[in-house]
């Protein structure tokens, strides 16, 4: 699959590490049936460029390049109050000499605090130009378009980046990741039986599905929902994967069975903590020294742990966990994560 025909900015001058987690695997196995569990590997996309890393960086390499190609001077995007995506988009804007504006959706009423720690601190530090706060359930596309229209009145040109960077152009970032991973597994002599990834706005999950199929990578992908259960999530991922495949000219229909997601680990609501997430964050930090975030990767790892304990994964099965970042938001949940210690 040739990605060279698409404009791209390079924000990560290295391949993200692929590591085995022996201590975590052993600790998890002790809680699984018969004292046996899967062997867990991790791909450290939390170490991608645009400090402090995360999966949105891969998407933004293509999205920002497209914005520049269209002559934009301002990036406009949206997210929740502690949005990793907004923070990374702002970092990309700063690097490119662009302005950046956000539309923040209060999915939990009164949850946005401009003076909060975590990503909100990073918003202020890196100099976001303006933030518009709207109620949960708002039409985010219309809200962002209003920002672009306001910029046009000032003689400026905004470029809308959808929530999570999830569209066909952004999905190219995880086609590139699929190619990187394929070469990396070969170079390191590692065989993986299954990939576990977060499934939210669907760009990462859908891009990987298209990338794996297009590059003939025969490794099943399991998405752990961070905001929806499979009945609502799977169609979004399938639509995203198909959009990416169409953009690439793959001339194929993405098979329904290629999209697998698991629900039940994100409740009670998106971004609202639960005990399984707290256990997952503590366990990985205390066995491998690797932090997870409470909104995405903590709940994704909670799903991996829960499925292993249910016997969904076979003893000795080699799982690859894709760490999609989110470290700054962890600081906004310190009392929650450590209060249960």
Report, as residue numbers or ranges, the catalytic residues: 83
Burial per residue of 71-107, b for 16 or more beta-carbon CB atoms within 10 angstroms, e otherwise: ebbbbbbbbbbbbbbbbbbbbbbeebebbbbbbbbbb
DSSP-derived secondary structure letter, 266 = S
The SS3 assignment for 152 reads: helix
**Residue closest to 58 by CA, chosen among 211, 226, 251, 285:** 211
C-beta of residue 291 within 8 angstroms of C-beta of residue 327? yes
C-beta of residue 104 within 8 angstroms of C-beta of residue 79? yes
Concatenating the DSSP letter of every residue in 16-44 gives PPEEE-HHHHHHHHTTSGGG---EEEEEE
The SS3 assignment for 272 reads: coil
Concatenating the DSSP letter of every residue in 46-102 gives GGSSSTT-BTHHHHHHHHHHHHHHTT-SEEEEEE-TT-HHHHHHHHHHHHHT-EEEE
């Amino acid at each position: 699959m040739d990605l060279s025909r698409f404009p791209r900015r390079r924000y990560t001058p290295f391949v993200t590490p692929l590591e085995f987690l022996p201590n975590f695997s052993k600790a998890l196995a002790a809680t699984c049936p018969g004292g046996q569990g899967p062997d867990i590997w991790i791909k450290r996309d939390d170490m991608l460029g645009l400090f402090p890393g995360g999966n949105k960086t891969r998407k933004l390499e293509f999205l920002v390049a497209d914005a520049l190609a269209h002559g934009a001077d301002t990036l406009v995007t949206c997210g929740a109050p502690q949005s990793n995506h907004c923070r990374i988009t702002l970092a990309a804007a700063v690097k490119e000499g662009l302005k950046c504006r956000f539309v923040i959706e209060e999915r939990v009423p009164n949850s946005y605090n401009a003076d909060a720690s975590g990503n909100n601190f990073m918003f202020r530090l890196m100099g976001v130009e303006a933030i518009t706060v709207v109620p949960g359930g708002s039409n985010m596309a219309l809200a962002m378009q209003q920002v672009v229209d306001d910029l046009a009145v000032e003689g400026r040109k905004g470029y809308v980046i959808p929530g999570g960077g999830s569209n066909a152009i952004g999905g190219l970032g995880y086609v590139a990741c699929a190619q990187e991973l394929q070469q990396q597994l070969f170079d390191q002599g590692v065989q993986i039986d299954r990939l576990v990834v977060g499934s939210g706005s669907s760009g990462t999950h859908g891009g990987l599905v298209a990338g794996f199929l297009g590059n003939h990578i025969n490794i099943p992908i399991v998405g752990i929902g961070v905001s929806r259960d499979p009945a609502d999530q799977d169609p979004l991922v399938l639509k995203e994967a198909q959009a990416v495949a169409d953009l690439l000219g793959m001339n194929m229909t993405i098979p329904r069975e290629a999209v697998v997601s698991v629900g039940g680990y994100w409740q009670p609501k998106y971004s609202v903590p639960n005990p399984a997430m707290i256990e997952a964050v503590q366990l990985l930090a205390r066995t491998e020294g690797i932090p997870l975030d409470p909104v995405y990767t903590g709940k994704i790892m909670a799903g991996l742990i829960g499925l292993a304990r249910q016997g969904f994964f076979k003893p000795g099965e080699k799982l690859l966990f894709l760490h999609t970042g989110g470290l700054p938001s962890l600081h906004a949940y310190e009392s929650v994560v450590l209060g249960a210690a």
